[in-house]
Structure 1
Amino acid sequence: MRRAARALGTYLSRSPVTAGYVVLLLSTHLWCTAVLSTAEAQRVLLGVSTHLDNLHDRPLRALAGSLLFFDGTLTEVTSEAFAGTLITLGLGVAGCLAWLERRYGRGRAYGLFLLGHLAATLLTVPVIQVALAHGWYPDSVRHAPDFGISYGAETVLAAAALLLPRARRLAAAGVVAWPVLGGDWSGVLPDFTTIGHLLAAAIGFVCGALLLRTARPAATAPLPPADPALVE
């Protein structure tokens, strides 16, 4: 327990913005699943979805509001949705985004996260429009629920995969494998979220390569001395 408390304290002190963001995401998820009714939660999530209708009518609310939620579950541990939560919220945000914040500073870390979220979302728009025009996607895609942090998480996962000192190729392959194996490839085009995740991964790889070549790790303040009472 003491070691766990010390590890948590270190995490909070070295990655305070990410720690706060994780708490925010957990809070909004709890609000939707435990406080609101199913109909109310659906209304909230549809309001922040980045589908075509919302991006046309209220783009800022959709793009910003989508960052306040994650599309997954914390309770159905045998489901594919739970695996997605582990990848996006756990490994992507709580893991890689926190590591980037510590190593390269919160500005670069969150700039990369936001770039992936915004660019991947907006780059999928012409893909969806062309697919709708040719009948490759159903018209319901225009207003289908599409919210969450997964594009940003995929971007920081890809960047971190290139910046890791070891096993870069294996980590990079895992980042690409997630959307490829989990996507729907049954039509002429894969589903638009698969395309968005692959675009986000490409953005992360490019930005990770640039950071690897040009950016120095951010200087971090030394950790406070350990409390003698906690040292065994």
Structure 2
Amino acid sequence: MNSQSPPGPSRRALRVLRRYPRRAPLTLAYLCLLLAGHAWTGHVLSADRAAAVLGHLSTNLDNLRDHPLSALLGSALFFDGTLTDVTSTGFAGTLITLGLGVCCFLAWTEHRWGKTRAVAVFLGGHVAATLLTAAVITVALRHGRYPEDVRHALDYGVSYGAQTVLALGTLALPRRGRLPWAVFVLAWPLGGAEWSGPLPDFTTIGHLTAAALGFALLAVPAFRRRPVRATRLSSTAS
């Protein structure tokens, strides 16, 4: 009797891609929205108009005081990175936040716990990390740790939400891979950090805060329990 050989990497990758729209439709729609927004600001709008749009959606202190809701929600509709300059650190950041964070781990979160919880984790991490970072900036400005122009610095994108699901995604890995993955999630933002004495730049603080929020979810029983849907599927298969 001939034993069937396991599928190769290319066939497994094609199988994953075919199943992706069914397993994570909301993540796929969000990814398309992010790519459309990136193309719109990068290739349709003029440079000045694109800067004005992104400046309005930036989650800096001035915008959070003036129009907090549109800044918090609007900033999550764009990603701050490049898809073409493959030798830059910006491209590496895009691979981590958009590639691993959104494409992989947000999709995994949606498939494992459903759309509602995936949105809550991603958007909650984005908003909470932004607001906590704003509080740190306020205190740092009061003590002269940051320059005054940080109040209206350009700060937008999906990286805080992505960082939250990257940390939560530790559950998706085998036990022996979880500690190295956690170290990576915490270490990569520090790679390009700029320091003001003992304090890193505010985006680094935001990424570390978002990671801490994601790791904190690992202790929540609702996330540690196996989803009911997965349990039912396993029972049906057996």
Same-fold call, TM > 0.5?
Answer: yes
Q: Is the 8 A contact 2:59 2:71 kept in 1?
A: yes
Which of 13, 22, 34 matches 2:43? 34
Letter of the aligned partner of 1:197 in structure 2? H
List gaps (5 residues or longer) in structure 2: 1-9, 234-238
Letter of the aligned partner of 2:136 in structure 1? V
Which of 111, 114, 122 matches 1:102? 111
Letter of the aligned partner of 1:147 in structure 2? Y
- Structure 1 counterpart of 2:208: 198
- Structure 2 counterpart of 1:7: 16
SS in 2 for 1:135: coil
- Structure 2 counterpart of 1:228: none
- Structure 2 counterpart of 1:113: 122
Q: Which runs of 4+ in 1 moved over 4 A?
A: 1-6, 211-214
- Distance apart, 1:218 and its partner CA: 5.0
Q: Is the 8 A contact 2:218 2:224 kept in 1?
A: no
Percent of aligned positions with the same letter in both sequences?
59
**Higher mean Cα deviation, 143-152 or 123-132?**
123-132
- Structure 1 counterpart of 2:79: 70
- Structure 2 counterpart of 1:227: none
Structure 1 residues 8 and 178: CA distance shift in structure 2, 3 A: same
**Higher mean Cα deviation, 11-20 or 207-216?**
207-216
- Structure 1 counterpart of 2:194: 184
**Higher mean Cα deviation, 208-217 or 78-87?**
208-217
- Residue 133 (str. 1) matches residue 154 (str. 2): no
- Structure 1 counterpart of 2:57: 48
CA distance in 1, matches of 2:18, 2:174: 25
Q: What do you get for the CA RMSD once the two structures are aligned? A: 2.0
Structure 1 residues 211 and 74: CA distance shift in structure 2, 3 A: farther
CA displacement 1:165-206 (0-9 Å, x = unmatched): 331101111100111222212434111111111111110001
- Residue 207 (str. 1) matches residue 217 (str. 2): yes
SS in 1 for 2:219: helix
- Distance apart, 1:142 and its partner CA: 0.5
- Structure 2 counterpart of 1:88: 97
Number of matched pairs:
222
Structure 1 residues 25 and 213: CA distance shift in structure 2, 3 A: closer
CA distance in 2, matches of 1:206, 1:163: 15
TM-score (normalised: structure 2): 0.87
Q: Is the 8 A contact 1:163 1:208 kept in 2?
A: no
CA distance in 2, matches of 1:218, 1:183: 41
- Structure 2 counterpart of 1:154: 163
Letter of the aligned partner of 1:114 in structure 2? L
CA displacement 1:20-47 (0-9 Å, x = unmatched): 1000000000001111111111001001
CA distance in 2, matches of 1:191, 1:3: 41
CA displacement 1:118-148 (0-9 Å, x = unmatched): 1100011221111111211111100010001
Letter of the aligned partner of 2:64 in structure 1? L
**Higher mean Cα deviation, 182-191 or 202-211?**
182-191
- Distance apart, 1:164 and its partner CA: 2.3
CA distance in 1, matches of 2:88, 2:173: 29
- Residue 169 (str. 1) matches residue 193 (str. 2): no
SS in 1 for 2:199: coil
CA distance in 2, matches of 1:215, 1:112: 16
CA distance in 1, matches of 2:33, 2:213: 25
CA distance in 2, matches of 1:213, 1:47: 35
Q: Is the 8 A contact 2:217 2:223 kept in 1?
A: no
Q: Is the 8 A contact 1:154 1:200 kept in 2?
A: yes
